[in-house]
Structure 1
Amino acid sequence: MMNWHALSHTKQDQIWSHVNKLVKWKPGSRFHHITPPDPYRVFDISSGVSGKASNDDVVRVPNDLETSILKAFQSCTGNQDVIYALDWQHDSYTFSPHQAMPKDEFGDWPVPIFPDGDYYFFFHQGFSLGLLGDPWKCTITVFGEELLKAIDKYRPILFQDG
């Protein structure tokens, strides 16, 4: 997939190490907390969890989330910037939000925005803004002033209560 570039294991380890310090996350700890740098907001996404969403929403809500987040990323990044897409304990990638976003055979990005069982973290290459998906708490935490403003402008359906 042209715009998705897998990170080497060495690079992944370096990025995760930096991320764990940045957001004070201790994966595997029973009482894990994700605390990103200020400013940040936590959005409850439990209404999008399978079983709680209507059949129409099962497709519409994740697509809307991807579209909205992509617009938000585009508005806070330059054409040459990349986003790290991190999938806890799986392959991680970089992508440009300004290029085509191909999907896999299931219609998903290699690392989806909606955390459906795994932690999915997205960081600007300079780590000044990002998005942290927590599958256990059914939340997406958005940090960085520019990204928060962009989320307000391109608000996903799921974030209406946030």
Structure 2
Amino acid sequence: MVERLPEGANVVGPRAVVRLKQAEYDRVWDRFSKRFGFRPGMARSTWPAIREPVESVTWSLDRLDDDPGDVQLDAMVAAVHAGLRECTPPRGTLLVLDWQHECFRIRPHRVAAGDGSVWVPSVMPDADYHIHLAENFSYGTFGHPWERTLCVMGSPLLDRVGGSVKVEPPYTAAEAVKRLRGHDGRSCCSMRRSLSALRSVS
């Protein structure tokens, strides 16, 4: 049986993109929901939809509205893709989750480098949550379609992406604290660590 690849996938090696079968699809989403407290919803009361890890930075995609030619968008996507590839061992895999759609396991080193179309779905949210994660969930991204944000998680990925993304971090310190208190309920210590991460990549 020939594996049906997502439209737009551009591979350079065998089994670069493999669709998750239903049983594994269910297991992965169950793991994700329990680990990150996933609460999908369009209402602001459900945002940011996950418990964002302390080792994470969230960028507002609203900053990309004034982006002639999608220059900043393309650069951001390229930086995140490069970071994910660098974090993943040569024979390693990533989970690519698309809320309520087919999900995949990809081998980043066998997927062609270049524009976002070769990574399907893109790390950028497009009417659904788009999630790229290490198999052990130690690093990855979470794209929120209604809050219009991209959360980059895990020190290995932040170390590679933070200095490359030229889009401003989404909030001032006061705004970040307000958002964390409103949606996450983390301790003041955790908030300070998150704000330090925001400053370190600005």
Smaller-chain TM-score bracket = 0.7 to 0.9
Alpha-carbon contact 1:112-1:120 (below 8 Å) kept: yes
Matched, 1:156 2:165: yes
Give me the TM-score of the superposition, normalised by structure 2. Answer: 0.67
Runs of 4 or more, structure 1, over 4 Å off, are: none
1:161 & 1:145 partners in 2: Cα distance? 16
- Rg larger for: 2
1:135 aligns with 145
Deviation at 1:29, TM superposition (A): 7.7
Partner Cα separation in structure 1 for residue 39 and residue 123 of structure 2: 21
Query: Does the CA contact (< 8 Å) of 1:85 and 1:122 recur in 2?
Result: yes
**1:1-162 matches, cutoff 5 A:** 1=9, 2=11, 3-28=16-41, 30=43, 31-32=45-46, 33-48=49-64, 52-57=65-70, 60-101=71-112, 107=117, 109-153=119-163, 155-157=164-166, 159-162=167-170
Of all paired residues, the percent bearing the same amino acid is 22
Larger helix proportion of the pair: 2
Q: CA deviation at 1:47?
A: 2.4
Structure 1 gap ranges (5+):
none
Superimposed CA distance per residue, residues 73-115 of structure 1 (whole angstroms, 9 cap, x where no aligned partner): 1222211111111000011111122123389xx9463211111
Contact 1:65 1:113 in 2 (8 A): no
Cα shift at 1:23? 1.0
* TM-score, length-scaled by structure 1: 0.82
8 Å contact from structure 2 (residues 94, 133) kept in 1: yes
Aligned length: 153
Could you say if the C-alpha distance between residues 127 and 161 of structure 1 is closer, same or farther in structure 2, counting changes exceeding 3 Å? closer
Please report the RMSD computed on the Cα atoms of aligned residues, expressed in angstroms: 2.3
SS of equivalent residue, structure 2 residue 59: strand
Of structures 1 and 2, the one with the larger relative CO (CA 8 A, separation 6+) is 1
Unaligned stretches of 5+ residues in structure 2? 1-8, 171-202
Check whether the contact 1:121–1:131 (CA below 8 A) recurs between aligned residues.
Answer: yes
Q: 1:98 aligns to what SS in structure 2? A: helix
Q: Which amino acid aligns with 2:165?
A: P
